Structure 1
Amino acid sequence: MPIIDLQPGDTVVPLLRCDVCIVGSGPAGATLARELSHSGLNVVLLESGGERRDPENDTLNDIENIGRPRVSDQWSVRNRILGGSSHTWGGRCGPFDAIDFEQRDWVGHSGWPIAMRDLDPFMDRSANHLGLALGNGYSDQRFWSIAGRNAPKEEVSANLLLPFFWQFSRDDAESYPFEYMRFGRHIAKHLGPNVTLVTGATVLRVLANEARTKTRGLEFATGDGRKHSLVASSVALCAGGIENARILLNSHEQDRKALGNDRDRVGRYLMDHLRGPTAFFSLGGSKALRRRFGRYNVRGRFFRAGLRLSPAVQRDEHLLNCAGWLGEVLAPDDPWDALRRLAARKPRLPEDVVSVARNVPLMVQGAVDYFGARNGLPRKLQELTLDCMCEQMPDEDSRMSLSDRRDRFGMRLPKVDWRSHPVEARTMHRMAELVAAEFSRIGFPEPVLADWVRDKAPIPASFVDVAHPTGTTRMSSDPAKGVVNVDCQVHGVEGLYVSGSSVFPTAGHCNPTQMIVAMAIRLADHLKDRLARPILAEVTAHAG
Structure 2
Amino acid sequence: MIAAVPHQQEYDLCVVGSGPAGITLALEYSRLNRERHVLLVEYGYKGQASGNDLDDTIEIKNAINHHSPYECTNKGLGGSSATWGGRCVMYDEVDFIDRPIVAEGCTWGVDLFREMANYVPRAATYFECGNPVFDLHESPEFRNARIAEHFLEGIVTDSVVERWSMPTRFGDRYARDIAERANLTLIQGYEARDFAAPDQTGNVSSMLIRDVKDKKVYEIKAKAFVLAAGTQETTRILLRNTQLFRNLDTIPTALGKYYQGHISGKIASIQFTGNPSKTDFGFLRDSDGTYLRRRFQFSSKFLAEQNLLNTAIWLDNPLYFNPKHRSGAMSFMYLAMIMPILGKKLAPPAIAHSVTKGKVTGISQHIWNIVRDLPQSLTTPASIFVKRYFLDRKLPGVFLFSPANRYALHFHAEQIPDAANRMELGLDGESLVVHYELTEDDIHSVIKLHGVLDTWLRDCNCGELVYWYTEDELPDAIRSMSRDGIHQSGTTRIADSPAKGVVDENLKVWGTQNVFVCSSSVFPTSGQANPTFFLGAFAIRLAEHLSNVYENSRVS
Partner SS state of residue 426, structure 2: strand
Mark the CA change 1:508 to 1:472 in structure 2 (over 3 Å): closer, same or farther: same
**Is 1:436 equivalent to 2:454 in the alignment?**
yes
The CA deviation at 1:185 is: 0.5
Give, in whole Å, the separation in 2 of the partners of 1:27 and 1:46: 13
CA deviations on 1:457-510 (whole Å, 9 max, x unpaired) are 253233111511101111111221011111110112110000121111111111
CA offset at residue 103 of structure 1? 2.3
- Cα RMSD for the two superposed structures: 3.7
Residue 228, structure 1, aligned to residue 221, structure 2: no
- Distance across 2 between alignment mates of 1:391 and 1:434: 16
Where do 5+ consecutive residues of structure 1 fail to align? 7-12, 171-179, 339-345, 406-410, 538-544
**Structural mapping, 1:81-160, within 5 Å:** 81-108=76-103, 109-113=105-109, 114-135=111-132, 137-143=133-139, 145-147=140-142, 150-151=145-146, 154-160=150-156
**Compared CA separation, residues 141 and 356, structure 1 to 2 (3 A):** farther
> Is 2:431 the counterpart of 1:413?
yes
Task: After superposing the two structures, state which structure 1 stretch, 226-235 or 285-294, moved more.
Answer: 285-294
C-alpha separation in 1, matches of 2:36 and 2:464: 58
What residue number does 2:332 align with? Answer: 333
Counterpart of 1:189 in structure 2: which amino acid? R
Change in CA separation of 1:452 and 1:484 when aligned onto 2, cut-off 3 Å: farther
Contact 1:248/1:260 (8 A) holds in 2: no
Q: Following the alignment from structure 1 to structure 2, what is the Cα–Cα distance between the partners of residues 384 and 59?
A: 41
Structure 2 counterpart of 1:29, which letter? G
Who is 1:408 aligned against?
none
Partner of 1:448: 466
Does the C-alpha gap of structure 1 residues 33 and 365 become closer, same or farther in structure 2, counting only changes over 3 Å? closer
- Paired with 1:356 and 1:495, the residues of 2 have a C-alpha distance of 63
Cα drift, residue 294 of structure 1: 2.2
* Cα separation, 1, equivalents of 2:168 and 2:115: 25
One-letter code aligned to 2:28: E
Shift of 1:526: 0.5
Matched ranges for 1:105-504 at <5 A: 105-108=100-103, 109-113=105-109, 114-135=111-132, 137-143=133-139, 145-147=140-142, 150-151=145-146, 154-161=150-157, 163-170=159-166, 180-191=167-178, 192-209=181-198, 211=200, 213-222=202-211, 223-252=213-242, 262-280=251-269, 288=276, 291-298=279-286, 299-328=288-317, 329=319, 331-334=330-333, 357-359=375-377, 362=380, 379=399, 384-405=407-428, 412-444=430-462, 446-451=464-469, 455-458=473-476, 459-504=478-523
Q: Secondary structure at the match of 1:154?
A: coil
Q: Secondary structure at the match of 2:205?
A: strand
Shift in CA distance, 381/487, structure 1 to aligned 2, threshold 3 Å = same
Going from structure 1 to structure 2, the CA distance change for 1:376 and 1:497 (only over 3 Å counts) comes to closer
AA aligned to 1:501 is S
Matched residue SS, 2:256: coil
- 2:162 aligned partner, one-letter code: W
Compare 491-500 and 58-67 and name the one that shifted more.
58-67
Q: CA deviation at 1:129?
A: 0.5
Q: Which residue of 2 aligns with 1:31?
A: 24
Offset of residue 332 of structure 1: 3.4
1:77-126 residue CA offsets vs partner (Å, 9 max, x unmatched): 11111101111222111111112112223421224144321011101111
Q: Secondary structure at the residue paired with 1:264? A: coil
Distance 1:287 1:325, change over 3 A: farther
Give the deviation of 1:127 after TM superposition: 0.9
Cα 1:295–1:140 shift into 2, 3 Å: same
Residue 162 (structure 1) shift: 5.1
Identify the range of structure 1 (527-536 vs 241-250) with the bigger mean alpha-carbon deviation: 527-536
| Residue 22 (1) aligns with residue 15 (2) | yes
Q: Which moved more, 1:440-449 or 1:458-467?
A: 440-449
Aligned to 1:10: none
TM-score when scaled to structure 1? 0.81
C-alpha change, 1:384 and 1:221, in structure 2 (3 Å) is: farther
In 2, Cα distance between equivalents of 1:74 and 1:401:
15
**Does the CA-based 8 Å contact 2:92-2:300 persist in structure 1?**
no
Structure 2: how far apart are the matches of 1:434 and 1:53? 49
Secondary structure, aligned partner of 2:546 = helix
* 1:220 alignment partner, SS class: strand
The SS at the match of 1:185 is helix
One-letter amino acid matched to 1:27: P
More helix by share: 2
1:140-167 per-position Cα deviation (integer Å, ceiling 9, x unaligned) = 5334x24476446622451245542101
Instruction: Report the TM-score when normalising by structure 2.
Output: 0.79
Secondary structure at 2:52 match in 1: helix
Letter in 2 for 1:134: N
* Secondary structure at 2:498 match in 1: coil
- How many residue pairs are counted as aligned between the two chains? 496
Which residue type is aligned with residue 187 of structure 1? Y
